[in-house]
Amino acid sequence: MKSKATRDHFVFAITADTHDAGPIFTQMIESINRDAPSFLILAGDFVKHGRKRGYRTFLDQISRLTVPVYTATGFQELSAGGEKISRKLFGPYHYSFVYQNSTFIIIDTFSLPRNDDYLAWLAGEVKKGEKSQHIFLITYSVPLDDKRFTEIMARSHIRTVYAVKAIGKYLPVIQGVPYVLLEQRSGEPFFYRVVTVKGRTTVEQNVPVIPHLTIIDKASLAIDNLVTKIMPH
């Protein structure tokens, strides 16, 4: 993973739903730094809550990150009136970028209305992305109940759709398009996903983060979780 990225060969990491990870998220960042991907994508629910304190904690954690980071907007980022902070820190809720032979489209299907404007923007970005060998789409809540969305995915060469949650019936492959959910499951280790792009192929694997917590870490995490539960969103 630490080899220099080329036009047809690079690695990126993606994760989400780390808002309850506390110090484990810091350990995840340390692991990602060691892996040295070209960049990290956070697909939503990465802050504890949308209050200033939640964002301050998150910014302190990612200040340790040694690779670029891109974000998608999730529920936690907008909770407790966090819309203004989120937009100030991260800019537009939907955007795209090109890296080497791939186009990455990040779209907010969580808070945007599902209207013709949203679909037109998405279709336009996908059309532009067809100049690349791969198109990756990242969203917080993938609208599988919206056939207009899944049809746009199916008729384009979308390599993978990454999301945290799915609205509608979830299947890992729909009309030839892989859909990967990044939701962290209770009782299982937090993880990030490593994607290796090599020419026209990709290889993916989940990397679990086995926590090494001190007594202070455990106490801090328990207190933080308790405070979050009793403070209304």
* Average of per-residue pLDDT values in the chain: 90
Query: What pLDDT, on a 0 to 100 scale, did the predictor assign at position 216?
Result: 58
Three-class secondary structure assignment of 118-153:
HHHHHHHHHHHHCCCCEEEEEECEEECCCHHHHHHH
Residue with the larger pLDDT of the pair 110 and 105:
105
Query: What pLDDT, on a 0 to 100 scale, did the predictor assign at position 224?
Result: 65
pLDDT tens per residue, range 91-103 = 888 899 999 999 9
First to last CA, the chain: 40
* Percent of all residues in the chain with a pLDDT value above 70, rounded to a whole number: 88
pLDDT band at residue 226 under the 50/70/90 scheme: low
* Domains in the chain: ranges and CATH: 9-230 (3.60.21.10)
Task: Supply the pTM of this predicted model.
Answer: 0.90
Helix/strand/coil for 77: helix
Is pLDDT of 187 > 90? Answer: no
φ/ψ of residue 156, rounded to 5:
-115, 165
Using the structure block, give the residue that is written with the tokens 């970028």.
Answer: 97
